[in-house]
Amino acid sequence: MTPVEHAEALALSMVARGEGTHPVEGHPGVQEAVVKFSTEELGSVEVTLRGEGKPLHQFRFGIAAPEAARPAPPERPVESGARPTDADVVRLRQLTELTPDDASAWNDLGGALRGLGRPEEAIAALEKAVALQPGNPFYRLELGMAYGESGRYADAEKCHSEVAAIDPELKRWPSHPGVIALIKLAHARWKQGQAVRALEALRPAIPLVAGILRDLGAYSMDAGKHLDAVKFFSAAGGIAPTMADVLHNAGRSLVWIGRFDEAVPWLINAVRVDASCTGAWHDLGHALARLGRRAEARRMLRSALKRDPKRASSWYELGCLDALDGKRDAAFRTLRRAAQCGYNRVAHVQVDPDLAGLRKDKRWPALVAAMQQAGSGTQPGAPPPF
């Protein structure tokens, strides 16, 4: 039979169901609860627990008003990120007593205990949460972290391995806490003297981390913080040397701040990893041109045009190289091709030092007019002003 101290908590939980007769499950000897509210404005509610057709326990609780006969459960501890308090733990313990089959209540209690540095007590609560919902990766992750905090690294490793196994390639992130599981799994292995296996645990997270750094670099560039962009892109490329877009962005950010000699190795690696990366071929040609390596620059730009014959900025760069080499006729032909493909940065063309030798030519006004009519907007891969 349900002990009287548990029966009282059960009776109180039945109040939330409202007036009437309610079936009871999971409590030995108790089959139903009868709830009856008083009709007084400031009165009480009476709960009778019945079993085998007869009353077993009867309780009376004071209430503020009959309309408020559905008291809210003890509030959850605190807002996300705030440090829990002892009072939060007390409230959460009351909640687990009222709803012992609620896995989320046990998990919340365990999280609060972890936050207060009481991992052993947290483990007891979190093990109940996992037992109630063994398929919930969040509860298992929380339990694994509590194991780690108490020094039970083998148990922590087991928990985190089970979470990581749900999506080993992190393809559904952030639909589950895979990255955290990998980090904690690596830590548990390292604590057990398994450094190599710790590194192996983190390997699937490399593309995700590189992607985050790449995005930070892109946001920095858009905000005009190019030095920050270089740092983020370079860090991304350092941990993901086979991701072409990361390598390309690392090189491109260096091009934008004029560090062409540093940009070249990144861009060479980008096209080695992915020869179809047209933008990397173009930026490599641009960087080599700025370094005076014109023959190499031509080859890179033609490689870009081989993959995208309508890339206006690459035609423009080739035209600049022709002008620098004194090939006026070729320069005008190539620059007209750039205009036909949409190159329209007239303000830049008027001051570009590479084209200084063309501006007194009688064909110059027609070229400028063609670029003015070329369309609107910056062209893909257009070089920065210099």
Same domain membership, residue 164 and residue 59: no
CA distance 129 to 321: 69
- In a domain? residue 143: yes
Per-residue pLDDT at 329: 96
264 and 351 inside one domain: yes
On whether both 126 and 180 belong to a single domain, the answer is yes
Q: Looking at the structure, do residues 368 and 268 belong to the same domain, yes or no?
A: yes
Query: Are 92 and 112 a contacting pair, CB within 8 Å?
Result: yes
Q: How far apart are CA 350 and CA 116, in angstroms?
A: 67
Decide which of 176, 193, 210 is a domain's last residue. Answer: 193
Residue 131 forms part of a structural domain: yes
Residues 366 and 242 in one domain: yes
pLDDT at residue number 20: 80
Domain ranges, residue 19: 4-68
- Whether 10 maps to a domain, the answer reads yes
Q: Per-residue confidence of the chain (386 residues) as pLDDT tens digits?
A: 555 556 777 777 777 677 788 888 777 788 888 888 765 544 567 888 888 878 888 877 665 443 333 344 444 444 445 688 999 999 999 999 999 999 999 999 999 999 999 999 999 999 999 999 988 888 999 999 999 999 999 999 999 998 888 877 776 655 457 778 888 888 999 999 999 988 888 888 888 788 888 889 989 988 888 889 889 988 988 888 888 988 999 999 999 889 999 999 999 999 999 999 999 999 999 999 999 999 999 999 999 999 999 999 999 999 999 999 999 999 999 999 999 999 998 888 999 999 999 999 999 999 999 999 876 444 444 444 33
Q: Are residues 125 and 188 in the same domain?
A: yes
In a domain, 286, yes or no: yes
> For residue 323, what are its two tokens?
């002008």
Q: What pLDDT shows up at residue 5?
A: 54
At a CB cut-off of 8 Å and minimum separation 6, what does 309 contact? none
CATH number of the domain that 118 lies in? Answer: 1.25.40.10
The pTM (predicted TM-score) of the whole model is 0.56
- Is residue 209 domain-resident? no
Is residue 293, in this structure, part of any structural domain at all?
yes
Give the pLDDT confidence score for residue 361 in this predicted structure: 93
Tell me if 207 is assigned to some domain. no
241 and 356 fall within a common domain: yes
Say whether both 188 and 108 belong to one domain: yes
H or E element, residue 185: helix 178-191
Judge if 176 and 274 occupy the same domain: no
Decide if 9 is inside a domain.
yes
Domain count of the fold of the chain: 3
Q: Which residue has the tokens 């997270």?
A: 205
Indicate if 298 and 247 belong to the same structural domain: yes
CB-based contacts of 330: which residues, under 8 Å, 6+ apart? 322
- Cα–Cα distance between 284 and 279 in angstroms, integer? 8
CA-to-CA dists, residue 147 to 30, 126, 187, 191, 309, angstroms: 37, 10, 12, 12, 59
